[in-house]
Amino acid sequence: MDRRPVSLLLDCDTGVDDALALAYLCSQPQVEIVAVTSTPGNVAADQVALNNLALLELCGRPSVPVAVGSRTPLSVPLVTTPETHGPQGVGYAQLPVPQGAVSASDAVELWVEAARARPGELTALLTAPLTNFALALRAEPRLPELLKNVVIMGGSYYYQGNTTPTAEWNTHVDPHAAAEVFAAYSGQPEEKLPLVCALETTERIEMRPEHLAALAARAGCTEPEVASAGQANGTRSRASNELVRQLSDMLRFYFAFHQQHGQGYLAHIHDYFAACVAIGTTPFRTRTATVHVETEAPRLVGTTVADFRGLWGEPPNARVVADPEPEQALAELVNAVGAFAARPRT
Ligand code: RIB
Ligand code: CA
Pick from 204, 202, 91, 86: nearest CA to 152: 202
- The C-alpha atoms of residue 282 and residue 137 are separated, in whole angstroms, by 28
- 58 part of a folded domain: yes
Residue 28 lies in a domain: yes
**Domains contained in the chain, number:** 1
Which DSSP string corresponds to 250-305? HHHHHHHHHHHTTS-S-EE-HHHHHHHHHHT-S--EEEEEEEEE--SSGGGTTBEE
Closest residue by CA, ligand 1 atom 2: 169
In a domain, 227, yes or no: yes
Checking if the pLDDT of 158 tops 80, the result is: yes
Query: Does some domain include residue 1?
Result: no
Nearest ligand to the CA atom of 41: 1
For residues 178 and 172, what is the distance between their CA atoms, to the nearest angstrom?
9
Cα(278) to ligand 2 centroid in Å equals 15
Closest-lying ligand to the alpha carbon of 42?
1
Tell me whether residue 90 is in a domain: yes
47 in any annotated domain: yes
Nearest alpha-carbon partner for 94 in 222, 241, 246, 215: 246
Q: Which atom of ligand 1 is nearest to the CA of 268?
A: 2
Q: Does residue 246 belong to any structural domain of this protein? A: yes
Instruction: Return the CATH number at 230.
Output: 3.90.245.10
Cβ–Cβ under 8 Å, residues 72 and 101: no
- Nearest atom in ligand 1 to 274's CA: 6
In a domain, 52, yes or no: yes
pLDDT of residue 2: 76
Q: Indicate whether 312 pLDDT > 70.
A: yes
**What is the separation of C-alpha 140 from the centre of its chain, rounded to a whole number of angstroms?**
23
Confirm or reject: Cβ of 11 under 6 Å from ligand 1: no
Range of the domain at 46: 6-342
CA atoms within 13 A on the CB side of 269: 33
Q: Is 133 in the pocket of ligand 1 (CB under 6 A)?
A: no
| Predicted confidence (pLDDT) per residue in 179-220, tens digit | 999 999 999 999 999 999 999 999 999 999 999 999 999 999
